[in-house]
Structure 1
Amino acid sequence: MGVVLNMEGSKGGPASVDRLVGLTRSDMARVNELILSKAGSDVELIPELAKHLISSGGKRLRPMITIAAAQMFGYEGENHVKLATSVEFMHTATLLHDDVVDESDLRRGRKTARMIWGNQASVLVGDFLLGQAFRMMVDVGSLEALDILSTAASVIAEGEVMQLGVSKNLETTEDEYLQVIKAKTAALFSAAAEVGPVIAQASRNDRAALRSFGTNLGLAFQLVDDALDYGGKASELGKNVGDDFREGKVTLPVILAYRRGTSEERAFWKSAIEENNCDDAALEKAIGLLARHNAIADTINRARHFGEIARDALAPLEDSEQKDALFDVIDFCISRVV
């Protein structure tokens, strides 16, 4: 369910995360060193497979958020680097597991690990990275940070199972779908944002603000991905356009178009999604129906709504470069579809 961010900004607007990249550059260099170190193993396949995904072009937005959130409250230690690396390992493990579940061929424009090494190796290396993530959390010595990230890992797994339950189910409601992506995508954004103020010993109100920011940013991020699957370009998505459709995923654009459609149109969706009649001609028809019922536009509007909630969550915090950089992330997320 991931889309690779073009960190240079959207073609449709000036929004970018350059400020976030600049503020976190020094600490992220240490994160990158730790990633390479902790992905090492005497078992040759583990670093080979891990580095294939780690070095494949992802921009590490989640760990940058962890670093910026810690900086925002004046943290000066080393533990934010370990927690940011843990966040990235959790994300990478999720991608490895996702590609197996979704039977995906491409990830960030390259063959997925499962296509090169197989499903078993992908799952097991994902488990190894999760183990390394938890070892680093223990090294930090913050029970509260450990609780936040371990809870997120559990919620993400629940989200994966929830997604299986709604797969190919066109009776899925919008509320049910939002629960899936809140668990599957937003939980890690939320945890990544919250652990920064936790180790900086910020107030509970400040922690809650970053938690809310992360949750709503994650919801907006995923909804934008859903829209892009039917309107982006393969070079920008890092996967084939229409992959969600071909995999029978019931995302918000499909939910809206199905519910708003005629009986004939609903029969088409059932044939395409539930019976796997999803060739290129069917994809073209699906895109036409999404446009007819404003499903893409309304999905983007939902994303903007959650983006505004994320912005409001940060608004009461003391002004800082980091706060402005996190505002930029919200704008950039939405601008991918402008």
Structure 2
Amino acid sequence: MSATIHRLAPAGRAPSLEPMMALVAGDLNQVNSVILARMQSDIPLIPELAGHLIAGGGKRMRPMLTLACARLLDYAGTRQHKLAACVEFIHTATLLHDDVVDGSDLRRGRRTANMIWGNPASVLVGDFLFSRSFELMVEDGSLKVLRILSNASAVIAEGEVNQLTAQRQVETGEDRYLEIIGAKTAALFAAACRIAAVVGERSEAEELALDAYGRNLGIAFQLVDDAIDYSSDEETMGKGVGDDFRDGKVTLPVILAHARGSDEDRKFWRDAMHGHRISDADLAHATALLNSTGAIADTLQRARHYGQRAIDALGLFPASQAKAALVEAVEFAIARAY
């Protein structure tokens, strides 16, 4: 596997999303206007609850990818604005549903909607946002766009169910885990990028290249998230340290550490994933095992591998400000772990 990312960020500056944010700032204002308008309802709870999450400090990474890919292709129209809003609604709806399924109480450093308004309201407002996203797809008028985004929505749901059935099953294999995150996380990254090539009326090769970029970036992004759950802090992550551990989420670091551990270690992981070892001392022991078995390091190695695949997928496109920003977005995704 490739061990390094070929950096484009200037020496002495940490990779960031700033170049991409600057590139699409004007477009993003248009997207935010669509989001604000379309989350309105005569039922006050809907915009109140949706606004709590949508305005909760997220980077808008997925819609920014749609906008940046449109810039990469020199697309001069405005269809990307509604479609980027559609991508954000799909993402927000899945977050609302995820927090209910996971029983999460913190997201992006704030109380989750389900903790404030309850599970039923969160699920139903998530449904509302999904419906709004489909309205936006239909308004765009492209059956191909509709097919890509509706398929991504179905794949995300499949990935979530697959993860649910694998929950607490520490014997889950690496291939199945990559299948899960490829569905629940990477599918929307891929679709967000791919639709830019459709609205830009580009070739299938360019469409598939952007799909590959987004898909590999999404996998890298999730693998880094898995690693920093055990090695970062609440302020960085926007959620509680060790949440995955206490929730019994079998992520790649756990899969690797379990496979490489002694019989005693494997018993610890089985007990932990079934909720019997959730103290701070248990978390510290888990982190020690993850480090001693190289599970964290190898998870990040895999993230770098997928990150490089994302960058390589952009090889089809000529050098530009947009391409540099998309490359640095990959570097940023990986650098969050360091």
Query: Match for residue 296 of structure 2?
Result: 296
Q: Conserved in 2, the CA contact under 8 Å of 1:66 and 1:196?
A: yes
Q: Conserved in 1, the CA contact under 8 Å of 2:233 and 2:241?
A: yes
* In 2: Cα distance, 1:275 partner to 1:333 partner: 30
Say whether 1:158 aligns with 2:164: no
Q: Conserved in 2, the CA contact under 8 Å of 1:108 and 1:237?
A: yes
Aligned pairs for 1:269-308 (under 5 A) are: 269-308=269-308
Say whether 1:224 aligns with 2:224: yes
Structure 1 residue 304 displacement after superposition: 0.2
In the TM superposition, what whole-angstrom CA distance separates every residue of 1:155-187 from its partner, at most 9, and x where no partner exists?
A: 000001000111000110000000000000000
One-letter code of the match for 2:331?
Answer: D
Structure 1 residue 241 displacement after superposition: 0.4
Structure 1 residue 13 displacement after superposition: 5.8
Structure 1 residue 147 displacement after superposition: 0.6
**Structure 2: runs of 5+ lacking an equivalent:** 1-8
Query: Match for residue 6 of structure 2?
Result: none
The SS at the match of 1:315 is helix
Structure 1 residue 276 displacement after superposition: 3.3
One-letter code of the match for 1:248?
Answer: G
One-letter code of the match for 2:122?
Answer: S
The SS at the match of 2:59 is coil
Deviates more, 1:273-282 or 1:103-112: 273-282
Deviates more, 1:74-83 or 1:171-180: 74-83
Query: Match for residue 76 of structure 1?
Result: 76
One-letter code of the match for 2:45?
Answer: L
Q: Conserved in 2, the CA contact under 8 Å of 1:64 and 1:84?
A: yes
One-letter code of the match for 2:100?
Answer: V
The SS at the match of 1:153 is helix
Aligned pairs for 1:137-216 (under 5 A) are: 137-216=137-216
Aligned pairs for 1:79-98 (under 5 A) are: 79-98=79-98
One-letter code of the match for 1:177?
Answer: Y
One-letter code of the match for 2:229?
Answer: D
* In 1: Cα distance, 2:86 partner to 2:334 partner: 26
The SS at the match of 1:88 is helix
Query: Match for residue 250 of structure 1?
Result: 250
Q: Conserved in 2, the CA contact under 8 Å of 1:65 and 1:192?
A: yes
Structure 1 residue 277 displacement after superposition: 2.3
Deviates more, 1:278-287 or 1:178-187: 278-287
Structure 1 residue 280 displacement after superposition: 1.1
Query: Match for residue 26 of structure 1?
Result: 26
Query: Match for residue 5 of structure 1?
Result: none
Deviates more, 1:40-49 or 1:307-316: 307-316
**Structure 1: runs of 5+ lacking an equivalent:** 1-8
* In 1: Cα distance, 2:13 partner to 2:92 partner: 29
Q: Conserved in 2, the CA contact under 8 Å of 1:13 and 1:335?
A: no
In the TM superposition, what whole-angstrom CA distance separates every residue of 1:10-65 from its partner, at most 9, and x where no partner exists?
A: xx961112110111000000111111110000001000000000111001011010
One-letter code of the match for 1:244?
Answer: D
Q: Return the TM-score normalized by structure 2.
A: 0.95
| % identical aligned pairs | 54
One-letter code of the match for 2:169?
Answer: N
Q: Conserved in 2, the CA contact under 8 Å of 1:248 and 1:276?
A: no
One-letter code of the match for 1:101?
Answer: V
* In 2: Cα distance, 1:263 partner to 1:243 partner: 25
In the TM superposition, what whole-angstrom CA distance separates every residue of 1:190-214 from its partner, at most 9, and x where no partner exists?
A: 0000001110001111001000000
One-letter code of the match for 1:328?
Answer: E
One-letter code of the match for 2:110?
Answer: R
Structure 1 residue 70 displacement after superposition: 1.2
* In 2: Cα distance, 1:13 partner to 1:154 partner: 39
Query: Match for residue 106 of structure 2?
Result: 106
Q: Return the TM-score normalized by structure 1.
A: 0.95
Query: Match for residue 3 of structure 1?
Result: none
* In 2: Cα distance, 1:284 partner to 1:308 partner: 32
User: How many residues are matched?
Assistant: 328
Query: Match for residue 39 of structure 2?
Result: 39
Query: Match for residue 3 of structure 2?
Result: none
* In 1: Cα distance, 2:331 partner to 2:240 partner: 25
The SS at the match of 2:316 is coil
Q: Conserved in 2, the CA contact under 8 Å of 1:24 and 1:64?
A: yes
In the TM superposition, what whole-angstrom CA distance separates every residue of 1:290-334 from its partner, at most 9, and x where no partner exists?
A: 011011000000000000111111012122211111001110100
One-letter code of the match for 1:241?
Answer: V
One-letter code of the match for 2:314?
Answer: L
The SS at the match of 1:101 is helix
In the TM superposition, what whole-angstrom CA distance separates every residue of 1:68-125 from its partner, at most 9, and x where no partner exists?
A: 1112212122210000000000000010000000000001000000000000000000
